[in-house]
């Protein structure tokens, strides 16, 4: 026996898929590139993530939340090295991209601090990073894990 008719369930799934695709393409003001992280050693529960974010839209974009299935939480951090070579870092409350603005996250600067990573980051692995912006624009960035020592 064959049945070539679409079932109502299949039709609903097809409609929902197209709605999701539409929602994703309707809001793509912020683009992410050059995502990477560093390998971690066993027992270490934190990691830093780097990316370049660019606002291609005509409106300011405010970052509301950062998350990853591989970490309990992720914070925005800024770090710097002083004249004596001492490195320190501190949390950054918010991040907003003006129209056309590009912000680079990099070592000894702005970074995404992964807290409570669920397993060590292995060289070559891809770490998903979800960035939620105002107006429900959410983008996913894949961070490529580089060796701990470059
Ligand atoms: Cu940090």
The string of pLDDT tens digits covering residues 87-105 is 899 999 899 999 999 999 9
| Residue 5 vs residue 78, higher pLDDT | 78
Q: What confidence score (pLDDT) does residue 25 get?
A: 47
Helix, strand, or coil here: 25? helix
Report pLDDT for 148: 86
Residue 90 CA to ligand 1 centre (angstroms):
7
pLDDT reported for residue 136: 84
Q: How far is the CA of 23 from the centre of ligand 1 (A)?
A: 33
Buried b (16+ CB within 10 A) or exposed e, 88-98: ebeeeeebebe
């Amino acid at each position: 026996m064959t049945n070539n008719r679409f079932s109502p369930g299949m039709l609903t799934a097809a409609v929902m898929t197209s709605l999701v695709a539409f929602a994703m393409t309707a809001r793509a003001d912020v683009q992410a590139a050059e995502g990477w992280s560093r390998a971690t050693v066993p027992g270490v529960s934190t990691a830093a993530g780097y990316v370049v974010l660019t606002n291609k839209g005509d409106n300011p974009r405010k970052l509301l939340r950062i998350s990853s299935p591989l970490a309990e939480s992720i914070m925005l951090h800024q770090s710097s090295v002083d004249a004596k070579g001492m490195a320190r870092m501190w949390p950054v409350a918010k991040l907003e991209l003006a129209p056309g603005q590009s912000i680079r996250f990099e070592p000894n600067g702005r970074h995404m601090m992964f807290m409570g990573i669920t397993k060590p980051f292995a060289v070559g692995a891809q770490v998903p990073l979800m960035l939620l912006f105002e107006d429900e624009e959410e983008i996913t960035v894949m961070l490529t894990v580089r060796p701990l020592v470059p």
